[in-house]
Structure 1
């Protein structure tokens, strides 16, 4: 797929220097300069409190056809990523772009020889909860499980949101693609019920060129706000 096609399909445009703060302009250059930094990614694992989110889901979202709590997590994380615009910037061949409609990539464990299949949710930022839940369910139920559905140039741009429901990890680091595009990577772990609380480990890898702990804190706040809001 050519760059013009990628920009058209996924609603991308070139970022202009005057749109960005002095720090962001500096970071986008500095952290992708291999003379200074060999690996620009920061990785951390948070213990995310899902207690209120689960209650909101059960009371207001679960009844939708095809619904699952994991789909609810992915849907709201995709909304938060869109709200905090810097997480939608991508570097392609040395130029930074802002996208508003990138697909969501989430690997699903299926076992057997295939091990995983790729689930791709297109137009995720434009889908209502009902539409997203059904699209997610349809992808999971698709018996034609495949790998590498998308061209590498497109796959390397997609937000990566994985799930390891049987692993209660305290730290988890995802290997990175050779293409340094600035996409964020997330992995949910095993949900753990403790007394009246529900927690899940969430591994996060962000490119320091277009994100940092300051904007990550805003992203997590937006994510939690969406999760605990019963309006949809």
Structure 2
């Protein structure tokens, strides 16, 4: 049995919300999002996954999801037009089929990596070759988009929606690894709505994520 999808949330009282004026400004007066790409050192994490026979993508999805549990500004969403902060957000990630078409799958985040990894592998086995953009239902409002482009190393990546952005969860995209000396580097971009996060929040998130990548042994805890 796969892990149940946690959709619990706390309503945001906009009358007392510290970010109320910024949210109004960046959604009504000057709707804005921004994207930032950084190079992360994945040397220790990559070595750990190879040593333990774990797919790197599973560790990547888990650690980003885990990091977001400590950043409430990255878990803002809407439920029936009510602005909320979700307890957790779950990764909706890209997979590539044998014919090079793609789909998005999601796996429920759980704090236990072994359980998450088991569910991730089960999702790949069940849905990995099913056609269509979203073969696994249901699509929850607390999914966040995370993917990778393992064929190209980039310095910037920016999704361009063709309609006004109505969601606030971050979008992540990783690029091709490069080896520099003894380090393996992975570019990782984040795109986020400015209504919920500023440069400080994104910088703090990346610093925390790098710290997690440097301590892969925590995946066994």
Cα shift at 1:19: 5.8
Deviations 1:211-232 (A, max 9, x none): 1110111111221222222232
Matched position secondary structure for 2:166? coil
State the alpha-carbon separation in 2 of the partners of residues 209 and 32 from structure 1.
6
State the alpha-carbon separation in 2 of the partners of residues 86 and 121 from structure 1.
21
Matched-pair contact (CA < 8 Å) for 2:49–2:56: yes
Matched-pair contact (CA < 8 Å) for 1:56–1:228: no
**In structure 2, do the counterparts of structure 1 residues 79 and 9 end up closer, same or farther at CA, with 3 Å as the change threshold?**
closer
Q: TM-score, normalised by structure 2?
A: 0.84
Partner of 2:208: 222
2:157 paired residue among 165, 172, 176: 172
1:50 paired residue among 29, 42, 46: 42
**Is there any run of 5+ residues in structure 2 with no aligned partner, and where?**
none
Partner of 2:25: 30
Matched-pair contact (CA < 8 Å) for 1:87–1:183: yes
Aligned residues: 210
State the alpha-carbon separation in 2 of the partners of residues 95 and 105 from structure 1.
22
Deviations 1:157-195 (A, max 9, x none): 421111111111122111336451211000001011122
**Is there any run of 5+ residues in structure 1 with no aligned partner, and where?**
1-7
Q: TM-score, normalised by structure 1?
A: 0.80
**In structure 2, do the counterparts of structure 1 residues 189 and 112 end up closer, same or farther at CA, with 3 Å as the change threshold?**
same
Where do residues 75-86 of structure 1 align in structure 2 (5 Å cutoff)?
A: 75-86=62-73
State the alpha-carbon separation in 1 of the partners of residues 6 and 62 from structure 2.
20
Partner of 1:16: 13
Matched position secondary structure for 1:201? strand
